Every structure is written in C-alpha cells, then in structure tokens.
Amino acid sequence: MKSFSWQYDEMKQVGVDYTISSEVEGYDERMAKLRDIKKETDNTISLLSIGPEDTVVEFGIGTGEFTNEVAQHCKRVIAIDVSANMLEYAKQKSKEGRIHNIDFNQGGFLTYQHLGEPVDIVITQLALHHLPDFWKLIALKRIFNMLKEGGILYIRDTVYSFDIDNYQQFFNQWISETLILAGEELACDIETAVREEFSTCDWIMEGLLKHAGFTIHKVKYNQGFLAQYICKKDQGEMSNLA
C-alpha cells in the first residue's frame, strides 16, 4: 500500500512500547499470568483445521509463540509485525526450534504488501485494536483481497460486548481483577489500553467485517472484552462458537 501523508501511522507504538527490548523479553512471562497460550494455540489450530497444504498469514505475531507452533502444521507462514524487536525475538525462537517455513516481515495491516498467490488463512490475535475503526475497515478489505475464494479470516481481539451504560464499573472491575490475578504491571497495561488504544464495540466490529466483504461464520464474546470471529470469503450464515 502506497504511503500518503494522511495515512494512519501503524508503525508508531500505541499502548505498551515494544521498541523497548525489556518489554519484548518480558512479554511471554506477563501473558502467562493471564492466559494459557499453549492451550489457546492448540485450540486455534484445531478450530481452523489448519493442514499441511495451507499458507497462513499472521498479523501481529508478537514473540512468535503461535507462529512457531502453527508453522509445524502448515506449508508456510507469513509472519508480520510492526515491531522489529518482536520479529527478532520470534526469529530466534524459530532458529532454536529449527523451523524453516516462516517468512518474517516488518509491517502491519496497512503496510504489508502481499505479492504472492492468494492465501488460505489469515490470523490476527490481539492486534487489530491498535487501529482506529476506519483503518480497521481498510485493513479488513486488504485482508479480504489477499485471501483465496473460500479463505478464512480468524480474529481474536479485545472487542467490547458489555453494557456500555455501565462502562465505568466494568473498566474499574476489569482492572481491579487483573491487579489481583496478575499484578500491578498488567493492570497498568489494561489502563493504558483502555485510554490509548482503539478497541471497538461488538456491533461495530461485526459491521466492519461485513462491509469488508466477509461472511461471519462463527462468533464468540467472552467476559465483555474478548471476541473471536471466524470469517470466510464466501456466502454463508453466522452462528455462535461453542
């Protein structure tokens, strides 16, 4: 995508600054306090029926935990992140694991240039919320164009599905519970995310996906702030994820 002076700068850090090496190095340890990443990864691979002939694009790879695991189940992974530090960290994991079918690219939803054949699956987890809603739509349209007919888009991200009238109570409770469960650092990360990032509402996200051309086949909302979407470049009907 050609860059213009009015284009949103997705390379700038919003929220936690992952240009700082210590933030990257501590990411997996921090996330382990809140998430079972291995279980999430196994569930996602099974849910999407990722197979040995599939080419997978992953936007926002972080430290490459999912990337390196999914690469062992598919033909090729195109791994994309805006953070050079994150990419180097993920590359080191792939070297240590002797995994050789990952192409690492510095870029993002708006700047990655896909020049090859249309791909089977695009995956993004906890990354799309870094874009304002208009630019989310542009990103989704770009993803639609890089998928083959019948291709799958899987999104797992922060999307608000709670009662907006109770937003103050919801955010305070979320942060308080995180403080108890995972400590002050992660609670502060959530404060920063709510204040500075661009998580949107469930009804807006569904509208963006449909306007981008996708059919939402399955959707699941958890805890008022997490969402999963399985979308296809086809015609179909939406159902709830189990």
In Å, the largest CA–CA distance within the chain is 51
For the domain covering 21-240, report its CATH number: 3.40.50.150
- Least confident span in 101-110, 183-192, 228-237: 228-237
Parallel, antiparallel, or unpaired: how do β-strands 102-106 and 55-59 relate?
A: unpaired
Which phi and psi (to 5°) does residue 170 adopt? -60, -50
Locate 75 and state its tokens: 């033909």
Q: Give pLDDT, residue 147.
A: 98
Q: Compute, in degrees rounded to 10, the torsion defined by CA atoms 116, 147, 50, 72.
A: 30
The model's confidence at residue 164, banded by pLDDT at 50, 70 and 90, is: very high
Q: What does pLDDT average to over the chain?
A: 92
Q: What is the reported pTM?
A: 0.91
The pLDDT of residue 38 is 85
| pLDDT in the model for residue 20 | 60
238 — pLDDT class (breaks 50, 70, 90): low
The string of DSSP codes covering 54-100 is -EEEEE--TTSHHHHHHTTTSSEEEEEES-HHHHHHHHHHHHHTT--
Domain ranges for the chain, please list them: 21-240
Residue 32 pLDDT exceeds 90 = no
Give the model's pLDDT for residue 35. 74
User: What would the pLDDT profile of 117-153 be if each residue is shown by its tens digit?
Assistant: 999 999 999 999 999 999 999 999 999 999 999 999 9
